Amino acid sequence: MSRQVVLDTETTGLEVAAGHRVIEIGAIEIVGRRRTERRFHCYLNPEREIDEGALRVHGITSEFLADKPRFADVAAEFLDFIRGAELVIHNAAFDVAMLDAELARLDPSPGRIADHASITDTLAMARQRYPGQRNRLDDLCKRLDVDASQRQLHGALLDASLLAEVWLAMTAGQTALALDGAPEERARAVDRVRAAGTIRLRVHRASEAERIAHAARLAEIEKRCGRAPIWSREAGGGTTAPTPGA
């Protein structure tokens, strides 16, 4: 069964080359297109100042991070959590570059993120699906009817949670129903689609006028053909139109 880890980070700034660091990691686990209770979340002491621009985005201060663990303290647990999964990240190049730089600082280095998990970039997916449109996470939430009303500031765990819903919505059509498979496989496939929120049947019942018109049409077909339409016979015969107001 497929396993995804939807991941987001917050950082001290935008430039890896300038020595900027990861200060928050949020990750949500999805197995078989269902969110599990497992998640990874931590704040990190970056041992450097936070750029003003970054502070305006996420609101995480140096004072708040002063007593938090270093990346080296959580690296093993983090790698255990993502190992073997498909990492789902919005603008993956940025987050992966930041995490790779953190891994490179370890002694010995455990390699790169791509050595432990595959990577899917939802920004690239969105640009392919919605060319010429804005494809920030906020934009995708609005487009796909994902409630992002709590997102006043960026936060790794909140953004990972929103991205999980966005990814499920964006990939819902890729779920194979396997209708020619075994009954239990078909049932599992339908459950996966329902979990993604893609089966939303809306029933529009015929009005009284529409039912009268339909019955009259069937009666006309029966008169012209000398017998009732086959679907009327299979449904139990009679096509006599009801009397209006009866």
- Residues noted as catalytic: 154
- What tokens appear for 133 in the block? 């449109």
153 vs 40, 57, 111, 116, CA distance in Å? 20, 6, 32, 30
**Site of tokens 């459950």:** 191
Q: Rounded CA gap, 167 and 140, in Å?
A: 10
116 vs 10, 85, 158, 163, CA distance in Å? 21, 8, 24, 21
Q: Rounded CA gap, 154 and 79, in Å?
A: 23
Q: What is the DSSP letter of 19?
A: T
